[in-house]
Structure 1
Amino acid sequence: MTHALVLLLALAIGVIAGLRALTAPAVVAWGAFLGWIDLDGKWSQWVAHPITVIVLSILLVVELITDQLPKTPSRKVAPQFIARLVTGAFAGAVIGSAFFHTFSAAGAGMIGAVLGTLAGAEVRSRAYAASNGNDRPGAFGEDVVAVGGGFLIAFLVSLV
């Protein structure tokens, strides 16, 4: 049962990476730093280091700001999509490493990133249309879901 829950959480953090590429690694780092994700003695323990948490948090804030810019490319173009696959796999692997399921959790994180990228783009385009061409409500809503959902997932790891 634990393996299935770990894969589900890795899939979910991958969805977060699909919404915001750098949110998934940042919230996983915060989860490890706060003790929600036990990485002691694992290959991934460096993720809980304060410097890692600070750097990933800064990158997360920069991403949240740049996502609001009109010139930001679509998440579905190759570089953006690949970044989401990589960060989703990484965040999933970190969660999985807490339970010695690194590789399967990395795969689940990558699958989640695909789902989050495609679903997020669709929801965002519908929000754009519903707001008469105003992208901000959809963007801010997605930010809240990504950051809040990411922290929820990181916390839920502590309950497994």
Structure 2
Amino acid sequence: MLYLLAFVIGIVAGLRAMLAPAAIAWAARLGGLHLEGSWLAFMGYRWTAPIWSLVALGEIVNDKLPTTPSRTVPPQFGARVAMGALSGAAIGISAGLWWLGLLLGATGAVAGTLGGAAARGALARAFGRDLPAALTEDAIAIVIAALVVHCL
């Protein structure tokens, strides 16, 4: 189950890169994810979750700006994979195999990035504009992230 969650949090990172580590930080802070003594222990520190949450909120706002580049260009794509890997590794630590969580999180991020871009494009065409599609994607990413936190 934990490995499925590592993949799913990667999908969240593919949709909204900073939402995945924010969710992981909240899971660690609330006690659902035990990272004490690991190289990711900082994710459970007092201020980590609020800081990641502010960064995630900034990303959600920035995503709606017309000057924001596509998620599939190398810097944005790389950031999503890195955040998926980090978040997946945190889940993998709980199962004793952080590296497997890292790989699954990164793989989920690739799937979320490419699938999310395709789905948002289709939704934008259906709506006739991008904003409703972007807001729908935000809602889906937030709900999935909350479900992951709940399951941890």
Same fold, TM-score > 0.5, yes or no: yes
The residue aligned with 2:147 is: 152
Q: Percent identity?
A: 40
In structure 2, what is the equivalent of residue 122 of structure 1?
118
Deviations 1:94-132 (A, max 9, x none): 111122110011000000000000100001000110111
Distance in 2 (CA, whole Å) between partners of 1:131 and 1:54 is: 34
* 2:14 paired residue number: 18
Q: How far apart, CA to CA, are the structure 1 residues paired with 2:33 and 2:131?
A: 33
- Tell me, yes or no, if structure 1 residue 85 matches structure 2 residue 112: no
Residue type at the aligned position of 1:78: P
Rounded to whole Å, the distance in 1 between the matches of 2:142 and 2:44 is 18
Q: Tell me, in whole angstroms, the C-alpha distance in 1 between the residues paired with 2:40 and 2:149.
A: 15
Q: Following TM superposition, by how much is the alpha carbon of 1:14 offset from its aligned partner in structure 2, in angstroms?
A: 0.3
The one of 112, 127, 134 equivalent to 1:131 is 127
User: Residue type of the partner of 2:143?
Assistant: G
Using the TM superposition, give the Cα deviation of residue 43 of structure 1 relative to its aligned residue in structure 2, in angstroms. Answer: 2.6
| Cα distance between partner residues in 2 of 1:115 and 1:138 | 18
Compute the displacement of 1:148 (Å).
1.5
Give the superposed CA RMSD.
1.0
2-structure distance, mates of 1:71, 1:44: 33
Counterpart of 1:39 in structure 2 is 35
**1:27 aligned onto 2:39:** no
- The offset of 1:12, in angstroms, is 0.4
How many residue pairs get aligned? The number is 152
How far did 1:41 drift?
Answer: 2.9
Matching of residue 143 in structure 1 with residue 138 in structure 2: yes
The residue number in structure 2 matching 1:61 is 57
Displacement after TM superposition at 1:65 (Å)? 0.3
1:103 aligns with 2:125: no
TM-fit CA distance, 1:54? 1.7
What's the secondary structure of 1:98's corresponding residue? Answer: helix
Query: Could you tell me how far apart the structure 2 residues matched to 1:138 and 1:33 are?
Result: 32
Deviation at 1:44, TM superposition (A): 1.8
Which blocks of at least 5 consecutive residues in structure 2 are unaligned? Answer: none
Q: Normalised by the size of structure 2, how large is the TM-score? A: 0.96
The offset of 1:7, in angstroms, is: 1.5
